[in-house]
Amino acid sequence: MTSPVALESTTTPTPPAPAGSAPVIEDLPRPRRIRSPSDVVRLVGAAVLLVVGYTAAVALRDGVATFQAGVLESVASFPAAARTMLVGVTQVAAIAAPVAIVVVLLLRRRFRLLLAVVLAAGLAVLGAWLAATFALEDAHPPAWHLTATTENWLAQTSFPPSEYLAAIAAVATVAGAWASRRWRRAATVLLVVLALLRAGTSGTLALDLLFALTAGVAAGAAILLLLGGPDRSPRGADVVGALGGAGIPLARVRQIATGGSLTHAYRAEAVDGRVLHVSVRDGEDRRLDLVYRVYTAIRLRSVGEQHVFTSLRQDAEHKAFVALWAGEAGVPVPKPIAVTATGASGVLVADEWIDGVPLDRLAPERLTDDVLRQFWSAVGALHQQRIAHRALRTEIALVDPTGRVWLVSFDDAEVDSPPRISPVMWPRRCHRWRWWPAPSER
C-alpha cells in the first residue's frame, strides 16, 4: 500500500496557524469524475453471472423449463384477489420510480447524468432482449404465456417485462452513484421488492429476472466506467473532523501526492504542535485492494495470505497493531497515534510524521554503509519477532536528516508468520538494485 511520502529535510517548515482560528485545509486538485473499482467489480461479477446463467439455460433447457413450470404452478395457487393487488402495486411502482428519477434530474439540471441514465437503460434493454431471445425462449413453460396476458389495473400481467426491469436496475445503478447511502439502499430495496413481486405473481419467471437484473447492473456499471462517476473519497475537512472527534484538534492539514494510489495521505499539524502522517482509505480503495488480494491468494498460495476478506476498519487496526508490535520489538517505526472512521465509508490511521526521504529517492552520497546496515538490522529484528512485512521495497524505508532509517507501511504485514515466509520476503525485490548489497555481499 502507499507509504508515507515525506518532505525533503531541506523543506522550509510551514508556519503554524494562528491559535483559535479555523484549520487550514490544503487538498490537491481531484478530477470531478473517476472510474471506480466498484464498477469494475460489479461489471465483472455481472458478466460471470450472465455467462453461468446462459450456460445453464442452454445446457439444461428441459430442466429449467420444468423448474419454472413448478414455480408457476405454486404461484397460481395464490388467491386471485391478492395476485391482482400485488401486480397492480408492482406496475404503479415500476412506473413511478423511473419517472421520479427523471423529474428530479431535470429539475436539478443534471443533463449529463440523465444522458448516462438513458444510455444505461437502453444498453440494459438490449442485453435483456438478447438473453430472452437466444437463451430463455425455449425455457418458458407454455402456461406462462396465458398467465402473462391476464389483464390488471394498468396493463396486462406481463408488464413490466424483464427488459423493463433490466432498465430500472441500470437506472438505479447509475443514479445511485450520485445518491446518498440512504437513497441507494432505498433503491436496492425497491428493486428487490419489484423482482420478488414479479416472480411471486407469475409476471416474470425466475430465470428471466436473474438475467434482467444482472444485465441491468452490468449495463449501469459499464456506463459509469465509460463516462465516469463521482469521487466520494474523504477530503481534508473529513480528516480534520475525524481527528478532532478523536481528541486531536488540527491547525493545518495538507494533502500529499501518492502517485495515483487510491489511498490518500496528509501531513497534519495538531494545535499542540505534533506533526502527524495520516493515511486515509475508503471503500473504493478497499474494493480494489480486495481484488488484488483475491488474485494473490490464488496465484501465490504459498505466501500465506491470512486476511483476505476483512473490513476496512479491521485492516486499519491491523496495520496499527503490527506497527506497535514491531516498535516494541525494537524496530524503528513511526508510532501510531489514532485509528478512526472518516467520511462516508473511510478509515484513517495517524502516526508520527517522519521528515525523511525514501531510499529509492535518497541522494547517492547519503546512501552509506551505515544506512544499509540499519536497514538490514531492522529487517532482521522483524524476522526475529516472526513479523513478515510482505512489502519490503525501497520506498518503505525512510531516512531522516540524522541518518536514521525507519520502516513504514505495515498494511500487509503479518504477525507470527510461518518461518518459511519471513526470511524469503525481501531478497528478490531488494537485490534488483546494483547499489543495494545484501549483508552477505558486503
Per the model's pLDDT, the better-predicted residue between 149 and 377 turns out to be 377
Number of structural domains (the chain) is 3
Last residue of a domain, one of 167, 198, 230: 230
Q: Is residue 197 part of a domain?
A: yes
Q: Do 213 and 264 belong to one domain? A: no
Percent of the chain with pLDDT over 70: 70
pLDDT confidence tier of residue 433, bands split at 50, 70 and 90? very low
The C-alpha cell that represents 406 in the structure block: 525507519
Q: Is residue 18 part of a domain?
A: no
Q: Do 207 and 224 belong to one domain? A: yes
Determine how β-strand 24-26 pairs with β-strand 250-256: parallel
Q: Which CATH number do you get for residue 424?
A: 1.10.510.10
Q: Is residue 4 part of a domain?
A: no
Enclosing H/E stretch for 268: strand 264-270
What number is the average pLDDT over the span 201-213? 71
* φ, ψ (nearest 5 deg) of residue 338: -155, 150
Q: Do 345 and 417 belong to one domain? A: no
The lowest-confidence range among 148-162, 171-185, 319-333, 341-355 is 148-162
* φ, ψ (nearest 5 deg) of residue 61: -60, -45
Q: Do 191 and 68 belong to one domain? A: yes
Distance CA 136, CA 148 (A): 16
- Nearest CA to 408 out of 346, 340, 347, 359 is that of 359
Enclosing H/E stretch for 254: strand 250-256
Q: Do 220 and 296 belong to one domain? A: no
Distance CA 67, CA 207 (A): 10
pLDDT tens profile 363-413: 989 889 999 999 999 988 988 888 888 888 888 899 999 999 999 988 888
- Examine the pLDDT at 311 and tell me if it is beyond 60: yes
Per the model's pLDDT, the better-predicted residue between 245 and 72 turns out to be 245
Domain boundaries, position 72: 33-230
Percent of the chain with pLDDT over 90: 26
Q: Do 263 and 191 belong to one domain? A: no
What's residue 137's pLDDT? 60
Q: Which residue has the cell 475508503?
A: 282
- 128-142, 147-161, 205-219, 299-313: which is most confident: 205-219
Distance of CA 349 to the CA centre of its chain: 18
Q: Do 274 and 129 belong to one domain? A: no
Last residue of a domain, one of 352, 384, 416: 352
Sign of CA dihedral 348, 350, 354, 359: negative
pLDDT tens profile 95-145: 888 888 889 889 988 898 999 999 999 999 998 888 777 766 655 555 555
Per DSSP, the three-state class of 158 is coil
CA dihedral 135, 139, 140, 141 (to 10 degrees): 170
Distance of CA 307 to the CA centre of its chain: 16
Per DSSP, the three-state class of 115 is helix
What's residue 284's pLDDT? 67
Q: Is residue 8 part of a domain?
A: no
Q: Is residue 144 part of a domain?
A: yes
What's residue 427's pLDDT? 44
Enclosing H/E stretch for 299: helix 283-299
- Nearest CA to 360 out of 36, 31, 5 is that of 5
Per DSSP, the three-state class of 408 is coil
Q: Do 188 and 66 belong to one domain? A: yes
Distance CA 430, CA 389 (A): 13
Q: Is residue 138 part of a domain?
A: yes
Last residue of a domain, one of 307, 337, 352: 352
The lowest-confidence range among 118-122, 329-333, 430-434 is 430-434
What are the residues facing 256 on neighbouring strands?
265
Q: Do 160 and 224 belong to one domain? A: yes
Q: Do 222 and 111 belong to one domain? A: yes
Q: Is residue 174 part of a domain?
A: yes
Per DSSP, the three-state class of 327 is helix
What number is the average pLDDT over the span 339-358? 89
CA dihedral 276, 282, 287, 293 (to 10 degrees): 20
End-to-end Cα distance, the chain = 30
Q: Is 224 exposed, middle or buried (0-12, 13-18, 19+ CB in 10 A)?
A: buried
What's the predicted TM-score (pTM) here? 0.70
Q: Do 424 and 396 belong to one domain? A: yes
Q: Do 289 and 342 belong to one domain? A: yes
